[in-house]
Amino acid sequence: MKTKKQFPTWLGNLIIILILGLVVAGAWYKGTHRTDTWNKVHQQKTVTIGIDDTFVPMGFRDKNGKLIGYDVEMAKAAFKKMGLKPKFQVIDWSMKETELNTGHIDAIWNGYTMTPERAQHAAFTKGYHQDRQVLLTRADSGINTPMDMHGKQLGVQSGSSGFDSFNEHPQFLKDYLGTKPVQYDTFDKAINDVKVGRINAVLIDGDYAKYYLAHNKSSVPLKLVDTQFPPDEYAVGLRKQDKTLRTKLNKAIDELHRDGTEAKLAKKYFGTPTPKPGMPPVR
């Protein structure tokens, strides 16, 4: 009669140890990534902000390579009130929430529009600025309304709120197109393609387009075309567990509105006051 092989005791113990190790590691990982990081940020006196440094007039390089912009100055002023120094880190904009939640950055402050999809991956401060999506096209393109984009080639920035709006509200532009839009990692590349005729228009933030037209003289005249997309409301994106940082930052943003700092920056970069949150943007 054959005897039944017994399961080795040492192997069973090893499996149990491995399982316990995975449970402990998982608990540590969850705890680490769900903990309010304010104490760490406060001790280091530094907060890392993810940006696209080509996004005028929110965060971009001047002719000497210095990082400037409305959001850059807003961030510096807000964190100064909190006793922190912002460190700006250039990121791939399509990976911004991943950079945030893996701890590579502490905040997204760069014309970051509040959307339901983004709310699944980040927490927002209160809104501090509004803008609208427009089409930027050649002056001689014959495009005067979104309906004129029928059969034309559109450019969009990957991961942008404009691309989200394009897909979420097809009746305002997508339904008029006959082809998929060309995706770019930055708006400046899309604008260059508009100039040379590779694409017919780019869907872009109005503030960016107006600043570009005012400060970049080109041999190829460009123009803006209004759209009916809902207004974009900008906020700072934070990790959901960072409730202390969010509370303190909301307070600092309120102070920047009260003491006139935000109004000065809005006039400097937009030429007009920033609309109050929840109100239609100034046209």
On the question of pLDDT at 231 being above 80, the answer is: yes
At 12 the pLDDT is 64
Copy the structure tokens of residue 143: 């495009």
Confidence label for 102 from pLDDT (cuts 50, 70 and 90): very high
Domain count, the chain: 2
At 18 the pLDDT is 73
Q: Are residues 173 and 102 in the same domain?
A: no
At 164 the pLDDT is 94
On the question of pLDDT at 32 being above 80, the answer is: no
In a domain, 158, yes or no: yes
In a domain, 8, yes or no: no
Secondary structure E strands in the chain: 46-51, 54-55, 59-61, 67-68, 85-90, 107-108, 123-124, 129-131, 133-138, 154-157, 182-184, 201-205, 222-226, 232-234, 237-238
In a domain, 174, yes or no: yes
What would the mean pLDDT of 91-98 be, rounded to a whole number?
A: 96
What would the mean pLDDT of 151-178 be, rounded to a whole number?
A: 95
**Residue 40 one-letter amino acid:** K
Q: Are residues 50 and 109 in the same domain?
A: yes
Model's pTM, two decimal places? 0.78
Cα distance between residue 220 and residue 211, in whole Å: 16
The better pLDDT of the pair 250, 280 is held by 250
At 210 the pLDDT is 93
Structure confidence by residue, pLDDT tens digits, 190-222: 999 999 999 999 999 999 999 999 988 888 999
Q: Are residues 137 and 226 in the same domain?
A: yes
Q: Are residues 149 and 224 in the same domain?
A: yes
Structure confidence by residue, pLDDT tens digits, 56-89: 999 999 999 999 999 999 999 999 999 999 999 9
At 33 the pLDDT is 52
At 15 the pLDDT is 72
Q: List the CATH number of the domain containing 124.
A: 3.40.190.10
In a domain, 5, yes or no: no
Q: Are residues 238 and 186 in the same domain?
A: no
Give the list of residues 6+ apart from residue 154 with CB closer than 8 angstroms, or none.
173, 177, 179, 181, 182, 199, 200, 201, 202, 203
Tell me which residue range forms the domain holding 259: 38-130+233-269
On the question of pLDDT at 254 being above 60, the answer is: yes
Least confident residue range of 17-21, 50-54, 224-228, 279-283 = 279-283
Q: Are residues 178 and 263 in the same domain?
A: no
Q: Are residues 152 and 192 in the same domain?
A: yes
In a domain, 1, yes or no: no
